[in-house]
Amino acid sequence: MMMRRNIWCVILMAILMCSCKKSAKSEVKTNDDYKKPVAAASFRVVGYLREYNVVDGRAIQFDFSKITHLNIAFINPDAAGNFTTLDGLKELVTAAHAKNVKVLASIGGGLAPEYYTTLIATGSSREKLAASLASIADQYNLDGIDIDLEGHFVDDNYEAFVVAVKAALKPKGKLLTTAIATVYAAQYTNKALAQFDYINIMSYDKTGPWKPEKPGQHSPYSMAVDDLDYWSGTRGIAKERLSLGLPFYGYGFGSGVPEDMSFADIVKQYPGSENKDEVTVAAGGIMYYNGLPTIKSKTTLALQKAGGIMVWQLLQDGTGANSLLNIIDAEVKAAKK
């Protein structure tokens, strides 16, 4: 009787150990788990449109079916922190919402007004600006606010400012997002970054007309890899919160080439350039940009290592077979199958 009981005990223990191993295996994530792509159904495609194209009506003519989020750049206050009425924005928001696209007002920009340093410098001015941003989000039925402050604007007051904006928007159920550049990485505190629902990485402008001594590709594939590795790896931000920024424009270096061109103008002026990342003009200068194959490769990368794509900016795109947005859309839809 004792022997039979011992045998059954051994069998029972073996079953329990196997069960525990299976359970532990299912709970512990492996490196391969972190390589799995973000669910394509929740993958963001964030596009920027210029504020003046809202006023001139070009923005409302855009086909919203290939994006999920639209940022209007840039809707900045005056030096006192007050916002003026933007004609056409309500109509644009209504049109975008009809296609299930969220719309955000983006503030700041690469050439942000210098008075932002004053607006975010003290508690009272920060709170006023935060309240004003929440107010315009309500006024235009926006889905949130996008903060694009760069360089010296990301100062000792930046963290307190984004905390204040988050506090003003959260009770309203509004999004708070940002556009960041890795070159300024040390200036963004972890607490500041934690305030954002998602983060658009400006993975471009590695060089440009402001660096004539450094000609070359301003948005190489390697930069996208490095940027995603830094923000998700070194800084520990969940990949679902990151959007990889893609340029729909190029920069020229050398003789006889413009300083910058939209992708639309590049493919019109230089047939066959859509499948390349650079084109040499007759006078010898070179225009550097991202062609169709590179945009496709970067989209595949983002599907694996990020939660979305960000585009600057939508109206610089080509059309039909030369549309970069069409390439992005095709890759995202293929991932959903």
- In order along its 337 residues, the chain shows pLDDT tens digits of 333 333 333 333 343 343 433 333 333 333 343 344 556 789 999 999 999 999 999 999 999 999 999 999 999 999 999 999 999 999 999 999 999 999 999 999 999 999 999 999 999 999 999 999 999 999 999 999 999 999 999 999 999 999 999 999 999 999 999 999 999 999 999 999 999 999 999 999 999 999 999 999 999 999 999 999 999 999 999 999 999 999 999 999 999 999 999 999 999 999 999 999 999 999 999 999 999 999 999 999 999 999 999 999 999 999 999 999 999 999 999 998 8
DSSP β-bridge partners for residue 261? 250
> Dihedral sign, CA of 219, 223, 228, 230?
negative
CA distance readout (Å), 67 to 63, 71, 267, 328: 9, 11, 22, 10
pLDDT of 38: 54
Burial class (CB in 10 A: 0-12, 13-18, 19+), 5: exposed
HSE at residue 316, side-chain half, CA atoms within 13 A, is: 20
Walk me through the domains of the chain, giving residue ranges and CATH numbers: 40-248+291-336 (3.20.20.80)
pLDDT of 35: 46
Provide the pairing of β-strand 286-288 with 308-312: unpaired
Tokens found for residue 83: 């916002």
Cβ–Cβ < 8 Å for 192, 155: no
pLDDT of 39: 66
Task: Give the DSSP letter string of 252-279.
Answer: EESTT--SEEEHHHHHHHSTTGGGSSEE
CA distance 287 to 279: 5
pLDDT of 337: 85
| Angle between the N-to-C axes of helices 324-336 and 292-305, in degrees from 0 to 180, rounded to the nearest 10 | 40
pLDDT of 127: 97
Element (H, E) at 200: strand 198-201
Q: What is the pTM of this model?
A: 0.88
Cβ–Cβ < 8 Å for 166, 195: yes
Q: How many residues does the chain have?
A: 337
CA distance 33 to 239: 12
